[in-house]
Structure 1
Amino acid sequence: MDRGQLADALFTIVNDTSDLAELPQRLCTACLSAVPVDGVGLALMAGNQVGGRAFLGATDLLGARIEQLQFDLGEGPCVTAFEDGQPVLVTDLRARDAGVRWPMFVHELRKTPVRALFAFPLRLGAIRIGALDCYRTRPGPLVEPAAALMVAQAVTAALLRVQVREADREHETGEFPWEAKPGLVDLAIRHHAQVHQATGMVAARLEIGLEEAFVRLRAYAFRLGRSLDEVGADVVAGRMPLDILDKP
């Protein structure tokens, strides 16, 4: 499949998907058919936002776990690919250099069968919107990295098409075709809604900035070996005294 065929296939998925919540997984599944890997995950990212990234979709639970870990820990190949604007190809996650580069992420991922991870930035010129993660359960190089990069570029174009379409619909009709608030950013934020709500609660209670509040939540979750979503749910439900986070 050449770049034009792939872009057409992804645009067809965008046009045929009436429920925005189903779109990320359908795009991931299409990517999986074009790249020789075992699973795919998508994340939206923005360097100027608290938390910096949000899970968008994955082909399976293992792919979702990879995205969740990078959200919880703030490190990993996907984060690096977005920040550097370049593909990050990790042929063996159990190799020493991977552990040195992303110590917390690699430590946690060793509890899973994932052995290789290939991350590609979702970018179009100066526009960067996220990253595409492709994982494999055996070590070794990616056979056709150029083809995978082409897939990432096609996904970027498809996601930007969604954003433009929804902005146009809102402008033209003043109404939203989906039950949820339109836009992929809003969909991604819903995956971590309680984390964002908890961050605001901690910031207000301790009289600190949102970024500092988020860092304290992340550190607390890591110390307890829990996900940020679990800790955020405890904060929102009042099951966790916020004074615990009074010191970094």
Structure 2
Amino acid sequence: MADLGALADDLAAIVAEGGPEAPRRICEACMAALPVTRAAITMMAGADRQEPIWVSDEVARQLDELQFAVGEGPCVEAFTVRRPVLVADLTDPTEQVDGRWPVFAAAARRTPVRALFVLPLQAGAITVGVLDLYRDTPGLLEPDELNGALRAADAALWALLGMRSGGKVDGAADGARRADPHGWLMGSPLRRTEIYQATGMIIEQMQVTPEMALSALRAHAFAHDRPILEVARDVVARRLRFHEEMQ
């Protein structure tokens, strides 16, 4: 059983101390106290605008990147519907994951992950991201364990709000500002600056909305079986121009 008392104390201390290491410490506290194998915190400004803040390992990173690339998955669903997404077994057809996220589900089953628990980071009308908890064995969290995960999501929310209040990243690309008009991602260490910069360039090239520009970037990456970051780098380096690509 989860030691909720110790977890709650750890989370309270982490939030009180704050700082850039808070997301990592929250994820590590979850992995220590709850029956989960991997964890991640992702900041989001919309279903198409995500930024990983911390991931426990390469598998968690791959799952995060996949959802950003294809625009579907438990992170997108949890953020959009603003409630937890809990899947006991990715291989169980009764979970209906293929109907909800066909591309993500097929790829996720090729990883060791079997169960996933994604919790939105929200307070009132504000949702700033998700806490991802993954397990390599099937099964749902027990009620006390889910309660602990929800406490961790609350802690992650306040940690991210604290990071955002500390100011924006110097030198962030104009494309990132345009893809993130509300500025939620600007308080994080932007690992996807090139993607947002490329999105801004595609907006100019195609004269479309940020959502349509990001969709075009995704579609090109998917059609050519390339990582979206590689395609974005080609756009930024002007090796790929989307008004020419669409002709």
Question: 2:56: which partner in 1?
Answer: 59
Consecutive unaligned residues of structure 2, counting only runs of 5 or more, are 173-182
CA offsets, 1:176-210, max 9 Å, x none? Answer: 9x9787x9722546211111111111121222222
Cα RMSD of the aligned pairs, angstroms, is 2.5
Mapping of residues 18-57 of structure 1, within 5 Å: 20=20, 22-47=21-46, 51-57=48-54
Amino acid paired to 1:135: Y
Which amino acid in structure 2 is aligned with residue 81 of structure 1? A
1:203-247 residue CA offsets vs partner (Å, 9 max, x unmatched): 212222222111111111122232221211121123334346427
* Contact 2:115 2:139 survives alignment (8 Å): yes
Fraction of identical pairs, as percent? 37
Amino acid at match of 2:87: V
Q: Does 1:102 align with 2:101?
A: yes
Q: How does 1:1-248 map to 2 (within 5 A)?
A: 1-2=4-5, 5-14=9-18, 17=19, 20=20, 22-47=21-46, 51-96=48-93, 97-143=96-142, 144-164=145-165, 166=166, 185-186=185-186, 188=188, 190-243=190-243, 245-246=245-246
The one-letter amino acid of 1:10's match is: I
Question: Aligned-pair distance for 1:4?
Answer: 5.0
Contact 2:11 2:26 in 1 (8 A): no
- AA partner of residue 129 (structure 1): V
Aligned length: 229
Distance 1:118 1:98, change over 3 A: same
Q: Which runs of 5+ in 1 are unaligned?
A: 168-175
TM-score (norm 1): 0.82
CA contact (8 A) 1:34 1:151 kept: no
Q: Counterpart of 2:224 in structure 1: which amino acid?
A: L
Distance 1:213 1:244 in 2: 14
Matched residue type, 2:242: L
The residue identity in structure 2 corresponding to 1:150 is: R
**TM-score, with length taken from structure 2:** 0.82
Q: Distance in 1 between matches of 2:207 and 2:170?
A: 35
Aligned equivalents of 1:111, 1:241: Cα separation in 2: 33
Q: Does the residue aligned with 2:34 lie in a helix, a strand or coil? A: coil
List structure 1 segments (4+ residues) > 4 angstroms apart after TM superposition: 178-181
Do 2:75 and 2:130's aligned partners in 1 also have CA atoms closer than 8 Å? yes
Secondary structure in structure 2 of the residue aligned to 1:42:
strand
